[in-house]
Amino acid sequence: MPELDTSPLTLGPLLRYVGETSATVWVQTQDTATVTVRAFDRSWEAPTFVVHGHHYALVVLDGLEPGQGSEYEVDIDGVQVWPSRAEATGSLAASLPASRITTLRHSEPTRMAFGSCRTSVPHDAEGNKTNGVDALRAYAHHLTRTDPAQWPHLVVFLGDQVYADETSEEMREYIASRRSLDEPPGEELKDYDEYAHLYRLAWADPLNRWLLSTLPSAMIFDDHDIRDDWNTSQDWHREMNRLPWWHERIVGGLSSYWVYQHVGNLSPEDLAQDEVWQLIAEHAASGADGELDLTQVLDTLAERVDKHPETYRWSYARDLGESRLVVVDSRAARLLEPDRRSILDDDEMAWLDEQLQGDVDHLFIGTSLPFLMAQGIHDLEAINEAMATGAWGPRVARWGEKMRRALDLEHWAAFQEGFTTVLGMVVEVADGKRGRAPGTITFLSGDVHNSYVTEIDHRQLSPGSSRIIQAVCSPIRNPLPRQVRIAQAFIGKGLARPLEQLVSRTAKVPSAPYQWPMTEGPWFDNNLATLEVRGRGLVMRWDMGVVQGDRYDAPDLEQVARVVIS
């Protein structure tokens, strides 16, 4: 596997979408090139496109057979770059298994890994001391010793793949080489080039790079991909837009998100409908000389969707055999008017309404922000929303806005209109009113820096309905300080009953329509979660990384919890 600074392959390959008959492979290259992927005794190629001077390609592999596997290689301008033939014997990269592509088989039960919140700091003693062992990296090492037939079909990253506002020493050194850290935005990211470097730090480590090359991945952003509290309220949005550096930040964040994360989320059929991908396809089909420059296209798109989120959709869905995964943008498409707050705008809500259907064995809903918080926190966020929107007058509203940001009270529970609407849709699916009821409807989430399982009390639902579950895995690598863990656990459990009683005594705050006790957790370790479909039920587990002695390149995987949903 190549050295980043000398190979024509700058970053990747990342295996992104994989279905029953197609797959996509993403790469970043040093220069303008033609990228070829060789697998299944065939080859596919794509020309690079350029954004702010950085070169990329997404190669679409079509005409595949379901349930087939193959090792693959990547060439740039006819020269093999993955795996590299120049790899030093004895290096970690040289010892890793070959990267593979395995298409889905419709009848095979789904296996999926998921998690969120992963910082990009070195994987050494100092990095592990401050940020803990990277659970994703430990999982990668585990897979190198596991039969590929047992690997997950995909890994879902549920937000904060990169931290644009909390930078590492390496990232700060790069920023300082371009501009003064004493000028706004200081140690935070400013533009596209800095995002490109941050993704390189996040994905270049040999173990993680290998995992991303061989496990299909689905991604969605959360606030730290852009900035803490992104779109938490109208006041926040107005304040950020007054800052002279914010425009370049939001444009760089969203345009780089399209390149590094979003384009790989899409199936070939969805790519054909994407306005940016259509330009790439048309340019390739035309045989025109020169590389397609998408800089202005993506910058304009980012500007537009920041102001008018209804004009572009970041959400998407994937079929996984007899199951279905719906990934929801709970950040960019919000309604923030004080008299009309919803975590999803009308267009996004209508799309989700179409996606939430039965006639599948399991329905998975990926949303970076947990839909079902601990009930104490749910009630606290509902109370805070009422405060901040003026239910008790302007003075309390100002205090409510400060409290909202200080305590990160910005989840689905803080947008009661959207929460109630989506809950109604989900209960209809569970009751069999939108097709055959699935075995489970499972929300997969991150963000909150602790992991847990909660479930709506089945006795409150109709007989024979689906089980409605919230499974959270966070962080992959960014643990909370101990005192914050204690405070969060106390608010979630210790204040649950008093807050429930307070809500029940006022008409200004809607009462939760169901009870959803926390059945497992919380766990505060760095974790990566996996789930496996077992008929109408699920088996889920959470695993953490452990480094023995100084074996930083061989972290062990240790089970934190195992949960059976029967």
**Coil vs helix vs strand at 8:** coil
Nearest Cα to 372, choosing from 432, 445, 421?
A: 445
Residue 25 scores a pLDDT above 90: yes
Give dist(CA 504, CA 517) in Å, integer.
18
pLDDT at 1: 39
pLDDT at 367: 98
**Segment 450-462 mean pLDDT:** 95
* DSSP-derived pairing of the beta strands 154-157 and 217-219: parallel
Q: Which amino acid is at 440?
A: T
**pLDDT confidence tier of residue 497, bands split at 50, 70 and 90:** low
Residue 86 scores a pLDDT above 80: no
Residue 416 scores a pLDDT above 60: yes
**Segment 408-427 mean pLDDT:** 96
pLDDT tens across 151-170, in order? Answer: 999 999 999 999 999 999 99
Residue 35 scores a pLDDT above 80: yes
Residue 504 scores a pLDDT above 80: no
Sequence-distant (≥ 6) Cβ neighbours of residue 328 within 8 angstroms:
220, 315, 344, 348, 352, 365, 366, 367
- The secondary element (H helix, E strand) that includes residue 278 is helix 275-286
**Segment 490-517 mean pLDDT:** 76
Structure tokens at 539: 């088996």
**pLDDT confidence tier of residue 365, bands split at 50, 70 and 90:** very high
What's the chain's average pLDDT?
Answer: 94
pLDDT at 505: 74
DSSP string, 466-521: PEEEEEE---SB-PPPHHHHHHHHIIIIITHHHHHHHHHT-TTSPPPSS---EEEE
Give dist(CA 88, CA 531) in Å, integer.
36
Give dist(CA 486, CA 295) in Å, integer.
46
Q: Is 26 exposed, middle or buried (0-12, 13-18, 19+ CB in 10 A)?
A: buried
**pLDDT confidence tier of residue 506, bands split at 50, 70 and 90:** confident
Residue 359 scores a pLDDT above 90: yes
Q: How many CA atoms lie within 13 Å of 37's alpha carbon, on the beta-carbon side?
A: 28
**Coil vs helix vs strand at 378:** helix
Q: Give the chain's length.
A: 566
Residue 487 scores a pLDDT above 60: yes
pLDDT at 482: 79
Residue 347 scores a pLDDT above 80: yes
Query: How many other C-beta atoms lie within 10 A of the C-beta of residue 497?
Result: 12
**Segment 520-524 mean pLDDT:** 93
**pLDDT confidence tier of residue 3, bands split at 50, 70 and 90:** very low
Between helix 416-430 and helix 346-355 the angle, nearest 10°, is: 10
Structure tokens at 101: 């592509």
Residue 2 scores a pLDDT above 60: no
pLDDT tens across 241-273, in order? Answer: 999 999 999 999 999 999 999 999 999 999 999
- The secondary element (H helix, E strand) that includes residue 540 is strand 537-546
**Segment 96-123 mean pLDDT:** 96
Q: Which fold has domain 1-96?
A: Immunoglobulin-like (2.60.40)
Give dist(CA 480, CA 526) in Å, integer.
10
**Coil vs helix vs strand at 394:** helix
Give dist(CA 55, CA 91) in Å, integer.
27
418 with 349: CB under 8 angstroms?
Answer: yes
Q: Which amino acid is at 421?
A: T
**Coil vs helix vs strand at 456:** coil
Give dist(CA 208, CA 202) in Å, integer.
9
Residue 486 scores a pLDDT above 60: yes
**pLDDT confidence tier of residue 87, bands split at 50, 70 and 90:** low
**Coil vs helix vs strand at 114:** strand
**How many Å separate Cα 386 from the centre of its chain?**
29
Give dist(CA 471, CA 536) in Å, integer.
17
Q: Matching CATH topology for 1-96 and 109-565?
A: no
**pLDDT confidence tier of residue 498, bands split at 50, 70 and 90:** low
Q: What is the domain partition of the chain in residue ranges? A: 1-96, 109-565
Give dist(CA 210, CA 93) in Å, integer.
8
Structural domain 109-565, CATH architecture? 4-Layer Sandwich (3.60)
**Segment 183-200 mean pLDDT:** 98
